[in-house]
Amino acid sequence: MSALLLAAMMLQSSAYHDEPYNGAECDQAAADRGIQIEMNICAWREHEAEDDRLNATWNEAREFAKSKDTRYRDSAFFEKEDDGRYFANLLEQQRAWLKYRDTSCTIAADHYRNGSMRPMAYSACMAQMTKNRTAALRAYMEQEY
Protein backbone atom coordinates (compact mmCIF):
# COMPACT_ATOMS: atom_id res chain seq x y z
CA MET A 1 0.00 0.00 0.00
CA SER A 2 1.47 3.35 -0.99
CA ALA A 3 2.20 5.95 1.65
CA LEU A 4 -0.10 8.42 -0.12
CA LEU A 5 -3.03 6.00 -0.09
CA LEU A 6 -2.40 5.18 3.56
CA ALA A 7 -2.28 8.88 4.43
CA ALA A 8 -5.53 9.50 2.54
CA MET A 9 -7.23 6.64 4.38
CA MET A 10 -6.04 7.98 7.72
CA LEU A 11 -7.38 11.43 6.85
CA GLN A 12 -10.73 9.93 5.90
CA SER A 13 -11.05 8.06 9.15
CA SER A 14 -10.09 10.96 11.39
CA ALA A 15 -12.75 12.74 13.38
CA TYR A 16 -14.29 15.28 11.05
CA HIS A 17 -15.34 17.62 13.85
CA ASP A 18 -11.78 18.78 14.44
CA GLU A 19 -9.14 19.95 11.96
CA PRO A 20 -8.89 16.68 10.05
CA TYR A 21 -6.68 17.80 7.17
CA ASN A 22 -3.56 19.10 8.94
CA GLY A 23 -3.34 22.33 6.97
CA ALA A 24 -3.95 20.76 3.55
CA GLU A 25 -5.11 23.29 0.99
CA CYS A 26 -8.11 22.86 -1.28
CA ASP A 27 -7.18 21.68 -4.78
CA GLN A 28 -10.36 22.81 -6.51
CA ALA A 29 -9.34 21.36 -9.87
CA ALA A 30 -8.90 17.91 -8.31
CA ALA A 31 -12.17 18.31 -6.41
CA ASP A 32 -13.91 19.25 -9.65
CA ARG A 33 -12.58 16.01 -11.15
CA GLY A 34 -14.36 14.12 -8.37
CA ILE A 35 -11.38 13.15 -6.22
CA GLN A 36 -13.13 12.55 -2.93
CA ILE A 37 -10.34 13.50 -0.54
CA GLU A 38 -9.99 16.82 -2.34
CA MET A 39 -13.74 17.33 -2.27
CA ASN A 40 -13.63 16.71 1.48
CA ILE A 41 -10.76 19.16 1.98
CA CYS A 42 -12.45 21.86 -0.12
CA ALA A 43 -15.72 21.44 1.76
CA TRP A 44 -13.85 21.70 5.07
CA ARG A 45 -12.04 24.85 3.94
CA GLU A 46 -15.35 26.40 2.88
CA HIS A 47 -16.76 25.59 6.31
CA GLU A 48 -13.74 27.26 7.92
CA ALA A 49 -14.20 30.38 5.79
CA GLU A 50 -17.89 30.61 6.72
CA ASP A 51 -16.99 30.07 10.38
CA ASP A 52 -14.50 32.94 10.22
CA ARG A 53 -17.21 35.19 8.73
CA LEU A 54 -19.62 34.09 11.45
CA ASN A 55 -17.11 34.85 14.20
CA ALA A 56 -16.54 38.35 12.86
CA THR A 57 -20.29 38.92 12.57
CA TRP A 58 -20.85 37.51 16.06
CA ASN A 59 -18.43 40.06 17.48
CA GLU A 60 -20.42 42.84 15.78
CA ALA A 61 -23.76 41.40 16.95
CA ARG A 62 -22.48 41.05 20.50
CA GLU A 63 -21.48 44.72 20.56
CA PHE A 64 -24.79 45.68 18.96
CA ALA A 65 -26.74 43.83 21.66
CA LYS A 66 -24.63 45.37 24.41
CA SER A 67 -25.26 48.83 22.96
CA LYS A 68 -29.00 48.09 22.97
CA ASP A 69 -28.68 47.14 26.64
CA THR A 70 -26.94 50.45 27.33
CA ARG A 71 -29.59 52.45 25.45
CA TYR A 72 -32.33 50.62 27.32
CA ARG A 73 -30.59 51.18 30.66
CA ASP A 74 -30.55 54.91 29.91
CA SER A 75 -34.21 55.03 28.87
CA ALA A 76 -37.30 55.95 30.85
CA PHE A 77 -38.56 52.39 30.38
CA PHE A 78 -35.68 50.73 32.21
CA GLU A 79 -36.58 47.94 34.61
CA LYS A 80 -33.79 46.41 36.65
CA GLU A 81 -34.89 42.81 36.05
CA ASP A 82 -34.43 43.37 32.29
CA ASP A 83 -30.90 44.73 32.58
CA GLY A 84 -28.63 43.04 30.07
CA ARG A 85 -31.41 41.09 28.42
CA TYR A 86 -30.51 41.87 24.80
CA PHE A 87 -27.03 40.43 25.08
CA ALA A 88 -28.09 37.60 27.42
CA ASN A 89 -30.83 36.52 25.04
CA LEU A 90 -28.54 36.74 22.01
CA LEU A 91 -25.89 34.67 23.78
CA GLU A 92 -28.43 32.04 24.81
CA GLN A 93 -29.74 31.91 21.24
CA GLN A 94 -26.22 31.54 19.82
CA ARG A 95 -25.37 28.70 22.17
CA ALA A 96 -28.60 26.89 21.30
CA TRP A 97 -27.99 27.47 17.60
CA LEU A 98 -24.48 26.00 17.83
CA LYS A 99 -25.88 22.81 19.36
CA TYR A 100 -28.64 22.71 16.75
CA ARG A 101 -26.17 23.20 13.88
CA ASP A 102 -23.72 20.59 15.12
CA THR A 103 -26.44 18.02 15.76
CA SER A 104 -28.18 18.72 12.46
CA CYS A 105 -24.97 18.34 10.48
CA THR A 106 -24.01 15.15 12.32
CA ILE A 107 -27.41 13.71 11.39
CA ALA A 108 -26.96 14.83 7.77
CA ALA A 109 -23.48 13.29 7.61
CA ASP A 110 -24.66 10.06 9.21
CA HIS A 111 -26.58 9.37 6.03
CA TYR A 112 -23.12 8.52 4.63
CA ARG A 113 -21.99 6.57 7.69
CA ASN A 114 -18.69 4.79 7.10
CA GLY A 115 -18.48 6.31 3.62
CA SER A 116 -15.86 8.59 2.14
CA MET A 117 -18.49 11.28 1.50
CA ARG A 118 -19.34 11.67 5.18
CA PRO A 119 -16.77 14.40 5.93
CA MET A 120 -17.84 16.35 2.84
CA ALA A 121 -21.52 16.10 3.77
CA TYR A 122 -20.77 17.28 7.30
CA SER A 123 -18.63 20.19 6.14
CA ALA A 124 -21.09 21.27 3.45
CA CYS A 125 -23.90 21.27 6.01
CA MET A 126 -21.80 23.22 8.49
CA ALA A 127 -20.85 25.78 5.84
CA GLN A 128 -24.44 26.33 4.70
CA MET A 129 -25.92 26.53 8.17
CA THR A 130 -23.13 28.85 9.30
CA LYS A 131 -23.68 31.09 6.28
CA ASN A 132 -27.39 31.24 7.12
CA ARG A 133 -26.65 32.12 10.74
CA THR A 134 -24.31 34.91 9.66
CA ALA A 135 -27.13 36.34 7.53
CA ALA A 136 -29.55 36.05 10.47
CA LEU A 137 -27.17 37.94 12.77
CA ARG A 138 -26.75 40.65 10.13
CA ALA A 139 -30.55 40.94 9.87
CA TYR A 140 -30.76 41.21 13.68
CA MET A 141 -28.35 44.14 13.60
CA GLU A 142 -30.44 45.90 10.96
CA GLN A 143 -33.45 45.98 13.32
CA GLU A 144 -34.02 49.30 14.94
CA TYR A 145 -36.92 49.56 17.34
Write the pLDDT tens digit of every residue in 39-94.
Answer: 999 999 999 999 999 999 999 999 999 988 887 766 656 566 656 688 999 999 99
**For residues 41 and 123, is the Cβ–Cβ distance under 8 A?**
no
| CATH class entry, domain 32-142 | mainly alpha
Tell me the mean pLDDT in the region 90-113: 96
Measuring CA to CA, how many Å separate 67 from each of 60, 62, 85, 106, 141? 11, 9, 11, 35, 11
Q: Confidence class of residue 141 from pLDDT cuts 50, 70 and 90?
A: very high
Tell me the mean pLDDT in the region 3-8: 41
In 3D space, the residue among 99, 48, 56, 130 whose CA is nearest the CA of residue 64 turns out to be 56
**For residues 68 and 90, is the Cβ–Cβ distance under 8 A?**
no
Tell me the mean pLDDT in the region 124-128: 98
Q: Confidence class of residue 144 from pLDDT cuts 50, 70 and 90?
A: low
Query: How far apart are the two ends of the chain, measured CA to CA in Å?
Result: 64
- Quickly count: other Cβ atoms within 10 Å of residue 67's Cβ: 12
Rounded Cα gap, residues 87 and 85, in angstroms:
6
pTM value is: 0.79
